[in-house]
Each structure stands twice: as structure tokens, then as C-alpha cells.
């Protein structure tokens, strides 16, 4: 017997429009950001600045992406997400388009690190997850965050081969400018995500003042442990996104293996993100996070011991892809569980800031260590140690046990 009323059908369709708009935005901004590592060698050849100097621009972008999110989140908490997303998408396009014209470290920092990364932060997960959380029922939020996250992963899977093909066919500079134009396809999504917090919040969830909300969070030990774990996630993600093509080159493999490794990372991140969205609500989120970080430590250890062939790299990228951003749904879920959705964009933005501090170090130190030693091994060792630490630090987080699930008759 079907009990779907026209009103319920419209509501269901509206929810899917919100999800698709958020996922598409994240796909285009994330896909562009995560393919930037493919251009590192070309930028080095063109500018002669050195891998370390160019890595500084990428690393600054990781940090700036995080720094923008608490402020973008606070603004979105007050005025709605639509305006913030529109400006963010435009900045990503401008920064990406002008990057080929930059010939100094400062110029690359401005184009990649300030404009493109700052715009991606404004159109990033803090604003997207919070906007969706306000417009989607509580029981669907776990899967919703997984779908949005999968959108970012799909963008990486799609954009990496496109960027690689464009580099071969039209050159690296024109390839970046084509990517900048593609990003603009996300602009209409701002309309579907424009609602302000007042549209969905009950009285008990009215936002606190930004300063009060942040102070409350910083005095919550579980929030601090969650942020520390996300710092490690940022270190891993930024190092892989920036230097995986360099890892491929250091193994003596052709360039296309780098593009396909990034694509595998994105493809399997789709699987990991959706699976984690499904798992949130079925298992405690802190336990899921510990499992993800432990899996990363094991994967890196096995990779270090394995022969460095193309198929081995693809398998490694696939395994890391399963865990790549699958940390986001449970991390966002815990923030909402601790503090509600009234200040979620702001507080998830704070957590994303710690993620991007880790990202700055992962991207920057990867280049510096390679310049100093000719190898990425010491960064891999740091990856393992940090992953083990992150797996352990989530265990004491105070998360209420889940209610027993009942089976419908």
C-alpha cells in the first residue's frame, strides 16, 4: 500500500535537489583542488622555482582553505549558504584561471593558495554539510553527508583523467583554464542551498553568538579530541593529493599512472563515503573513526613493504581512497550530536581548520622532505605514527550509546 501524498513526494524531491546541489558543488570544487598535484611538475618546469617552493603554495592553500571555513560558516549561519557558495565558486574559477600566469612563489600563493583555496573553503564541507543538515531530516543526515562527500570524491575521479587528457592535448596552462570554466557549472547550486538557519531550526537550536559557540566547543574535551584526529586526516589527505603523482614519478613509472592513481583515490572514496554515510547511525561514530585511521596505518605499512609497480600503486590508491574522506560523515555527525545544527557551519569549520593545519604540514613537508632526501619515506613513517595516534585518540570521546534498533513487523 502506497501512502505517499503529493506533499510527501514534493518534500522527497526537494531533499534530493538539495543533496544533488551540494554534491555537485563539492564535486566541482573538490575535483579541481585535488587534481592540482598533477600540475606540480609542469609548474616547476615552467617557473624553475623548485618543488619545495611550489609545495609551499599548495600547502598555504591547504591552510587557507581551512582558515576560511569557520568565517564562511559563521557568515552562512547568519545569512544562509547561497551567497557564500556563489562567491566561493567564483573565486575558485578565478584563482585556477590565472595560475598559469604566475611566475613567482608569491604569485602562486595568491592564485592557488588565496583565491582558489579560499573560494573552495567558502564552497566547502563546513557550509555544504551545515546547509544540508538544516534542510534534511535528522534520520537521513548520515547518508546525506555520505552522498555529499561522495560527490567530492566523484569530482576527483572525474576531473583527474580530464585534467590529464587536457594536459596532453592542449598543454598544462590551457588545461587549468578549462578546469576553471568547468567549475562555474556549480554556480546554480547556490539557489537550491540559499535557505537561512531560521527556515529549519527549532527554538532550542537557535544559533549562539559565534564567540560563545566556539568557547563552548573549546571547553569540550571530546570536541578537542575529534579536532586532533581530523588534524591527522588533513595531513594524510593533503600529502596524497599533492604528492601522489610525485610518488609515482619517484617509483620510475610513467606520468599517466599518477593521474590514474588520483582517479582511483577518488573512485574508491565514493564507495567509502557512501558506506560510511550508511554506517553512521548504525555504529558509534567514534569507533568508525578509530577503524578508519587504523586501516590507513596498515595500508601505508603494507605499501612501504610492497614492490612499487603500477598495479600495486593502483591498489594502494584504492585502499586509501576507501578511507580518504570517509572521516567526514562521522566527524560532522559528532559535531551535530555534541552541539546541534544551530552553529554547525561555524563549529565544523573550526574542526576543518585543524584538518587544514594538518594539510599544510602534509603538503609542505612532503616537498621539503623529498628535496632534502630524494625520497618520501620519512613522510610515510610519519603517516603511520599519526594514524595510530588518531585511532587511539578517538576512543575516549564521550558519545552516547546508540539505541537498540528494532525490526519493523
| Residue pLDDT tens, the chain, 409 long | 445 566 666 666 777 787 888 888 988 988 888 788 788 888 888 888 887 788 888 888 877 887 887 788 778 777 778 888 999 999 999 999 999 999 898 999 999 989 999 999 888 877 887 777 777 777 677 777 778 878 877 887 788 788 888 998 999 999 999 999 999 998 988 887 775 544 444 444 556 677 888 888 899 899 999 999 999 999 988 888 778 878 888 888 777 787 788 778 878 888 888 888 888 878 889 999 999 999 999 999 999 898 888 888 899 989 988 888 788 888 988 988 888 777 777 888 888 889 888 988 888 888 888 888 888 889 999 999 999 999 999 999 988 765 554 444 3
Q: Is the CB of residue 326 less than 8 Å from the CB of residue 145?
A: no
Is the residue at 399 inside a domain?
A: no
Q: How far is the C-alpha of 379 from the C-alpha of 213, rounded, in Å? A: 36
User: How many domains does the chain fold into?
Assistant: 1
Question: Between vectors from CA 48 to CA 46 and to CA 50, what angle results, nearest 5°?
Answer: 120
Is the residue at 6 inside a domain?
A: no
Q: How far is the C-alpha of 403 from the C-alpha of 286, rounded, in Å? A: 16
For cell 513526494, name the residue.
Answer: 9
Is the residue at 215 inside a domain?
A: yes
Is the residue at 12 inside a domain?
A: no
- CATH number of the domain to which 85 belongs: 1.20.1250.20
Instruction: Give the sign of the dihedral formed by CA 341, CA 343, CA 344, CA 345.
Output: positive
Per-residue model confidence (pLDDT) at position 2: 46
Distances, alpha carbon 227 to alpha carbons 72, 76, 186, 232, in Å? 18, 21, 29, 9
Burial group, residue 254, by CB count within 10 angstroms (0-12, 13-18, 19+): exposed
Is the residue at 224 inside a domain?
A: yes
User: Does the predicted TM-score (pTM) go above 0.85?
Assistant: no
Q: Structural domain of residue 23, as residue ranges?
A: 17-195+207-393
Please choose, from the candidates 172, 144, 163, the residue with its C-alpha nearest in 3D space to the C-alpha of residue 28: 163
Is the residue at 405 inside a domain?
A: no
Q: How far is the C-alpha of 137 from the C-alpha of 73, rounded, in Å? A: 20
Is the residue at 92 inside a domain?
A: yes
Q: Is the CB of residue 258 less than 8 Å from the CB of residue 381?
A: no
Is the residue at 73 inside a domain?
A: yes
Amino acid at each position: 500500500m502506497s501512502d505517499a501524498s503529493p506533499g510527501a513526494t514534493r518534500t522527497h524531491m526537494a531533499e534530493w535537489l538539495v543533496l544533488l546541489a551540494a554534491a555537485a558543488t563539492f564535486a566541482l570544487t573538490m575535483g579541481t583542488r585535488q587534481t592540482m598535484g598533477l600540475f606540480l611538475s609542469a609548474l616547476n618546469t615552467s617557473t624553475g622555482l623548485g618543488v619545495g617552493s611550489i609545495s609551499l603554495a599548495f600547502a598555504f592553500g591547504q591552510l587557507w582553505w581551512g582558515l576560511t571555513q569557520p568565517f564562511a560558516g559563521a557568515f552562512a549561519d547568519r545569512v544562509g549558504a547561497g551567497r557564500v557558495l556563489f562567491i566561493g565558486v567564483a573565486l575558485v574559477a578565478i584563482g585556477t584561471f590565472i595560475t598559469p600566469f604566475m611566475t613567482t612563489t608569491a604569485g602562486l600563493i595568491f592564485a592557488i593558495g588565496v583565491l582558489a583555496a579560499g573560494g573552495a573553503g567558502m564552497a566547502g564541507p563546513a557550509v555544504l554539510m551545515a546547509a544540508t543538515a538544516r534542510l534534511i531530516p535528522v534520520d537521513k543526515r548520515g547518508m546525506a553527508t555520505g552522498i555529499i562527500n561522495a560527490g567530492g570524491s566523484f569530482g576527483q575521479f572525474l576531473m583527474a583523467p580530464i585534467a590529464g587528457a587536457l594536459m596532453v592535448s592542449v598543454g598544462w596552462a590551457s588545461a587549468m583554464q578549462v578546469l576553471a570554466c568547468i567549475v562555474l557549472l556549480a554556480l546554480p547550486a547556490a539557489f537550491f542551498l540559499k535557505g537561512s538557519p531560521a527556515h529549519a531550526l527549532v527554538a532550542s537550536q537557535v544559533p549562539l553568538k559565534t564567540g560563545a559557540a566556539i568557547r563552548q566547543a573549546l571547553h569540550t574535551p571530546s570536541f578537542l579530541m575529534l579536532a586532533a584526529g581530523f588534524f591527522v586526516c588533513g595531513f594524510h589527505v593533503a600529502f596524497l593529493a599533492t604528492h601522489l603523482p610525485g610518488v609515482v614519478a619517484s617509483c620510475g613509472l610513467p606520468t599517466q599512472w599518477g593521474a590514474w592513481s588520483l582517479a582511483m583515490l577518488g573512485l574508491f572514496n565514493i564507495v567509502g563515503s557512501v558506506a560510511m554515510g550508511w554506517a553512521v547511525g548504525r555504529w558509534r561514530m567514534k569507533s568508525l573513526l578509530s577503524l578508519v585511521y587504523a586501516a590507513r596505518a596498515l595500508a601505508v605499512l603494507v605499501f612501504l613493504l610492497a614492490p612499487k609497480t603500477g598495479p600495486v600503486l593502483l591498489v594502494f590508491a584504492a585502499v586509501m581512497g576507501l578511507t580518504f574522506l570517509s572521516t567526514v560523515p562521522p566527524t560532522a555527525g559528532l559535531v551535530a550530536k555534541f552541539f546541534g545544527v544551530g552553529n554547525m557551519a561555524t563549529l565544523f569549520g573550526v574542526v576543518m581548520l585543524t584538518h587544514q593545519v594538518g594539510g599544510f604540514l602534509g603538503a609542505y613537508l612532503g616537498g621539503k622532505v623529498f628535496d632534502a632526501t630524494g625520497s618520501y619515506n620519512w613522510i610515510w613513517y610519519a603517516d603511520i605514527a599519526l594514524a595510530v595516534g588518531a585511532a587511539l585518540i578517538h576512543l575516549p570521546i564521550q558519545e552516547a550509546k546508540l539505541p537498540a534498533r528494532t525490526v519493523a513487523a
